[in-house]
Structure 1
Amino acid sequence: MIALLKNRREKRFVYPGAEIRFDRTAERGRGADLEGVVHQGIETGRMRLMVAACLFGLAFSVIGGRLVQLMVVRGPGEPVAVVSAEDTPIETRMARADIVDRNGLVLATNLPTVNLYADTRAIPERDRLRAIAVLPTLFPELTVADLTNKMVPGRAFIYLRRNLTPSEQQSVNDLGIPGLHFERSERRVYPAGRLVAHVVGATDVDNNGIAGLEKAFESKLTSSDLPLRLSLDIRVQHAIHRALQDSIDHFQAIGGAALVMDVETAEVVAMVSLPDYEPEKIGAASEDARFNRATLGVFEMGSTFKLFNTALALDAGLKLSESFDARNPIRISRFTITDFHPEGRWLSIPEILMYSSNLGSARMAVAVGTDRQREFLGRMGLLDAIPFEIPEVGRPLVPNPWREVSTMTISFGHGLSVTPLHLVTGVSALVNGGLLRPPTLLLRSPETTPAGKQVLTTQNSTAMRALMRLVVEAGSGKNADVKGYYIGGKTGSAEKEGASGGYSKSAVRTSFVGVFPMTKPRYVVMAMLDDPKAVKGTYGYRTAGWNATPTVGRMIAEIAPLLGVQPVRGDPAVQFGPQLVQQVGLRFAEPEGGRGVSR
């Protein structure tokens, strides 16, 4: 212990048999070495983190660049690559643009899907036979015989089924059969279904347009990402479709058509043809269901044509006070012209239209002359096909030669066949101040609305509005009136063509074309029923006053609020002037209704 204390100052400790030294200099050296090792480790970790960060940054840059290339740089016309049976890229059709109504509601769009195909070169024989046996259990429309003919060994690409659902795709995957592959595809769907079938049309299995707007705008729909915006209002379309179907069912008709048109822009706001079809199942639809009665069918429109005959008389300078003999039938050639409900006296121009007199109309047309009649109807666009966006457009059947008997029969809607679209377009011009504009299914802005062609003077257009109101107020159109809207219009009943020529006495085609409000026309509404029957409540009648006329009345009552048309306030006679009101015989009273027996 004494030795230990004695050598303490020298930092030397002596134990029996041993000597230990603590050197402060060596201790400081070892600390410095340890500190260097730690510093070097930290620097190495920092370098590794920097390298890893750079690699991650590079990876994200590559991914981001690829996304920009796919989503921004790739042009709208560049095809998308998919994997084929040989695992090489093949081109698929570009997505079709949406079709929407005037309010932006989707009427047609694409949904992603897959198609199932087989590469039998990659399918072992045992699996090929199993696929032929099992696939019909997943897809009942496939048969063993059909698959046997398709899945011949050695074929590289065979479509087996298109547009699989995710669950169907999973079921095929679960089979575990090599050589069965999926091709990315798109399926055209129609959320509104048959409601817009004859307008929108349809596509085939390869997504090519084959009817309606899908066919007419094939190029535009496949080259633009912007939706095709229509003039249709799906709310109005639904109301018109339902009302027309209800009338067809109630009056036991075989079909019908209806149109709503804006008289200022000539936009078609609704267009229905019944029967119709599901656009996604157009291949299974009957020929009658695919036939568009509103634009493709050409028909003799009956007494609705008396509107054009009356406008012709005014255009030729005849006065409203002029009268024509409607006492006796007219016999010309092999025809005899009579009135459905004869008045047996001379009738003024307003009375001829109000009573729907064939005799008065025929004599009035003869007074104007054949040449002038043909020129006026041509000016109204009733002798040629109407330029329209869909391909299903009919051409009028015009008499040739155009004799005096043709002049007489055309005056009351026989001998000249037009489409319902012709009728609605022409009536729009009669009431909007005399401007004829081409109809359209596309939304028009004030800048894109055509100026129109002046086919009737403003004064005569106002007179026609008053005369059309007279028909509803006191004539055959009473059952179309809706309180507050002062509807005007004209009925029409035409015997249908017989199977062996001539006309059938047992089948008619009825129609009513109405305008509202007559004080300041906004819309034309037309309904046509194909071969309606007399039912309970029509007292044995099947003419337009009993079926097509109330149909239009119900349509207007429902769609007027949807279109924002308010009931007329104030005195409606102010819009016409006291002299015209007196000449026409208007009272602007609400019709009592219930007696629509005239043609």
Structure 2
Amino acid sequence: MSFLSRVMVLKSRAHFSAGGRGLSSEQTASFEGTRKRKSAQAKNRVGLLIAGFTVFYCVIGGRLTQYGIAQPEVTSSILPADRLLASRPDIVDRNGEILATDIRTVSLFAEPHKIVDPDEVIEKLSTVLNDLDVKSTYSKLKSNSHFQWLRRQLTPKQQSQILALGIPGIGFRPEKRRFYPGGATAAHIVGYVNIDNRGVSGMERYIDSQGLADLASVGMTSDQPLEPVKLSIDLRVQAIVRDVVASSIGKYHSIGAGAVVIDVHTGEILGMASAPDFDPNDPNANGPEGWMNRMTNSTFEMGSTFKSFTLAMGLDHKKISLNDMVDARFPIRIGGFTIKDFHGKGRFLSIPEVFQFSSNIGTAKVADAVGIADHKAFLTKLGLLSRMNTELPEVAMPSQPREWKKINSVTISFGHGVSTTPLQTAVAGAALVNGGVLHPPTFLPRTEEQAAEIATQVMNPSTSKDMRYLFEWNGAKGSGRNARVDGFDVGGKTGTADKVVNGRYAHDKNFNAFLAAFPMSDPRYVVLSFSDEPKTDKGNGAALAATSAAPMVKEIISRAAPILGVKPKFGNDGSALLVSY
């Protein structure tokens, strides 16, 4: 303490000491009481102030704790914020080309309790949203609720235009929208999602079923990048298949069409299309007609393509050989029905000729030689009578007679009486040419080693070798000639089936299919196409599989084979021909 400070303290003490000497004892006691009372009051006020602040901050802390542990308030019209931004994995083809991806967008909402004049709001919004549902929007704005969606997934331009209107009581929430760069190219395989980014069909729905939907429901996919889902399809091949299928409807005036390309050694789907189809970016644009995947979710009587399985059955059971002859001179009468050939030769036919001329009589006699029980067992083994097991959710159950009788076995032998999906017919066809091995179809990549682990040997390799000969024979000399592509050695079997209308076969409505494989010297791929109710220029059902389905296969193979790495071969010895120009 400095000298000056000490002097000031001493003077103060002296002043109070001098002043106190003149007070009486009563005055002194009164002075002390007053001082103590005022001190106590000050302490009480400070205590009350501390208590007030304590209560205030306890209330704030309690409310913050309550808000922290409370579940987010959810109404039927709005999802929690984390789910609005929940990610879906990209879907890519086998080469990494994007088939489906998420993009950020915004959605328009209103807080009706803050809106004074709904009519003015609707009038302003209509200048940007030309298709605004006035009646529904007015009802939402008059509801006096705290939240209502007005339009989901706006474009950036629409958002900026609405912002410029300066309407109080409306706002925007960020969302994610699924975008399909290829449009309808792979619509039935990829599928589509609903407004809340949940899978509705195709591989989109399959991805949700594998746990994505459960993760999203607990918020574990919120705005987090996920590993892409790679499919087995090749986008280049898929584009070709879809183009051929879509154009065939106009070309043959059919009500539907489809095609598929399968790797016979793995069961992978390289390309598959069904028409009519739809654009997954706007699945409602063309109505529900295009939603049906006719390749997997529709069943048809596949006609004479089933003769391939019947002859394979006869060969596998050693009831026939390629050198045998079958009496096809006379129609077969059974159960009040007459079985006859469409292009009857009226003579004995060799087994290759039964296949070439598509003889119903010859095929029926092969089935009869095998027997009803073994016939049913063989088709079951090929997967033609049970629901196909694959990733796509849209798979139909085949139909068959409740009780197999002789007449059923006979008609089924040439493709009438059993309805299957075109895809499972193609899958069974792959087993005919790949050595007798059945591979479950897949839309996900699969190596030959992985395929071998789940494959089933359904027929002898020697049977498959004989079937390759028959496919090649019919491709070169029979109804498969319209599917031949120079250099690629295409073989196969046509099927022209009358459709059932009101319980009876209609001779003017056909379902035409072609089951093909290539190259027949060492088959690598199976291609199946179909045309549903194709018509000639006269408008009747005279169009046959050889003139509708087979040309579809030819175009697909001629365009896709080089992409698939199949090298063409020319000349009698299979060597390339060098031509000078």
Q: How would you bin the TM-score normalised by the shorter chain?
A: 0.7 to 0.9
**Partner SS, residue 226 of structure 1:** coil
Letter of the 2:547 counterpart? W
Deviation at 1:89, TM superposition (A): 6.4
* Residue matched to 1:156: 146
Contact 1:81 1:91 in 2 (8 A): no
Matches within 5 A, 1:189-588: 189-218=179-208, 219-221=210-212, 225-317=226-318, 318-451=320-453, 452-498=455-501, 500-535=502-537, 541-568=542-569
Deviation at 1:447, TM superposition (A): 4.7
**Partner SS, residue 490 of structure 1:** strand
Cα distance change of structure 1 residues 296 and 90 upon mapping to structure 2, 3 Å threshold: closer
Letter of the 1:314 counterpart? L
Deviation at 1:572, TM superposition (A): 6.4
Cα distance change of structure 1 residues 573 and 306 upon mapping to structure 2, 3 Å threshold: farther
d(CA) in 2 for partners of 1:272 and 1:261? 12
Cα distance change of structure 1 residues 213 and 341 upon mapping to structure 2, 3 Å threshold: same
1:121 maps to which of 113, 120, 125:
113
Deviation at 1:283, TM superposition (A): 3.0
* Residue matched to 1:138: 128
Identity rate, percent? 42
Cα distance change of structure 1 residues 446 and 360 upon mapping to structure 2, 3 Å threshold: closer
Deviation at 1:122, TM superposition (A): 2.8
d(CA) in 2 for partners of 1:80 and 1:516? 59
Cα distance change of structure 1 residues 246 and 80 upon mapping to structure 2, 3 Å threshold: farther
Deviation at 1:540, TM superposition (A): 9.0
- Count matched residues: 489
d(CA) in 2 for partners of 1:100 and 1:107? 5
d(CA) in 2 for partners of 1:91 and 1:308? 50
Cα distance change of structure 1 residues 91 and 339 upon mapping to structure 2, 3 Å threshold: closer
Q: Deviations over 1:3-38 (max 9, x none)?
A: xxxxxxxxxxxxxxxxxxxxxxxxxxxxxxxxxxxx
Deviation at 1:471, TM superposition (A): 0.4
d(CA) in 1 for partners of 2:486 and 2:107? 56
d(CA) in 1 for partners of 2:288 and 2:160? 37
d(CA) in 2 for partners of 1:518 and 1:203? 41
d(CA) in 1 for partners of 2:270 and 2:181? 18
* Residue matched to 2:19: none
* Residue matched to 1:13: none
* Residue matched to 2:137: 147
d(CA) in 2 for partners of 1:431 and 1:572? 22
d(CA) in 2 for partners of 1:81 and 1:449? 49
d(CA) in 2 for partners of 1:81 and 1:240? 48
Letter of the 2:545 counterpart? A
Contact 1:81 1:92 in 2 (8 A): no
Cα distance change of structure 1 residues 565 and 90 upon mapping to structure 2, 3 Å threshold: closer
d(CA) in 2 for partners of 1:174 and 1:479? 62
**Partner SS, residue 507 of structure 1:** strand
**Partner SS, residue 450 of structure 2:** coil
d(CA) in 2 for partners of 1:429 and 1:447? 17
Letter of the 1:401 counterpart? E
Q: Deviations over 1:283-324 (max 9, x none)?
A: 344333111110011100000001000100011112222222
d(CA) in 2 for partners of 1:323 and 1:445? 41
Cα distance change of structure 1 residues 573 and 339 upon mapping to structure 2, 3 Å threshold: farther
**Partner SS, residue 103 of structure 2:** strand
d(CA) in 2 for partners of 1:541 and 1:571? 36
Matches within 5 A, 1:68-79: none
d(CA) in 2 for partners of 1:143 and 1:410? 54
Q: Deviations over 1:190-247 (max 9, x none)?
A: 1111111111111111111111111121155565701111011111111111122222
* Residue matched to 1:589: none
d(CA) in 2 for partners of 1:232 and 1:535? 35
Deviation at 1:445, TM superposition (A): 3.0
Q: Deviations over 1:360-395 (max 9, x none)?
A: 000111011111111111111111011111111011
Q: TM-score, normalised by structure 2?
A: 0.80
Matches within 5 A, 1:27-106: 91-106=83-98
Deviation at 1:280, TM superposition (A): 2.2
Contact 1:81 1:89 in 2 (8 A): no
d(CA) in 2 for partners of 1:436 and 1:564? 23
Letter of the 1:120 counterpart? P
Cα distance change of structure 1 residues 438 and 81 upon mapping to structure 2, 3 Å threshold: farther
Q: Deviations over 1:567-596 (max 9, x none)?
A: 13686699xxxxxxxxxxxxxxxxxxxxxx
d(CA) in 1 for partners of 2:442 and 2:143? 53
**Partner SS, residue 372 of structure 1:** helix
Deviation at 1:249, TM superposition (A): 1.2
Contact 1:487 1:516 in 2 (8 A): yes
Cα distance change of structure 1 residues 80 and 568 upon mapping to structure 2, 3 Å threshold: farther
Letter of the 1:261 counterpart? I
Deviation at 1:519, TM superposition (A): 0.4
**Partner SS, residue 494 of structure 2:** strand
Cα distance change of structure 1 residues 319 and 190 upon mapping to structure 2, 3 Å threshold: same
Contact 1:136 1:143 in 2 (8 A): no
d(CA) in 1 for partners of 2:556 and 2:83? 48
* Residue matched to 1:175: 165
d(CA) in 1 for partners of 2:310 and 2:366? 8
Cα distance change of structure 1 residues 98 and 312 upon mapping to structure 2, 3 Å threshold: same
Deviation at 1:335, TM superposition (A): 1.6
Cα distance change of structure 1 residues 276 and 153 upon mapping to structure 2, 3 Å threshold: closer
**Partner SS, residue 204 of structure 1:** coil
**Partner SS, residue 138 of structure 1:** coil
Letter of the 2:248 counterpart? S
* Residue matched to 1:165: 155
Letter of the 1:529 counterpart? S
Cα distance change of structure 1 residues 134 and 540 upon mapping to structure 2, 3 Å threshold: closer
d(CA) in 2 for partners of 1:332 and 1:557? 44
Q: Deviations over 1:21-57 (max 9, x none)?
A: xxxxxxxxxxxxxxxxxxxxxxxxxxxxxxxxxxxxx
Contact 2:303 2:496 in 1 (8 A): yes
Residues 527-536 or 162-171, more deviating: 527-536
Contact 1:479 1:545 in 2 (8 A): yes
Letter of the 2:150 counterpart? L
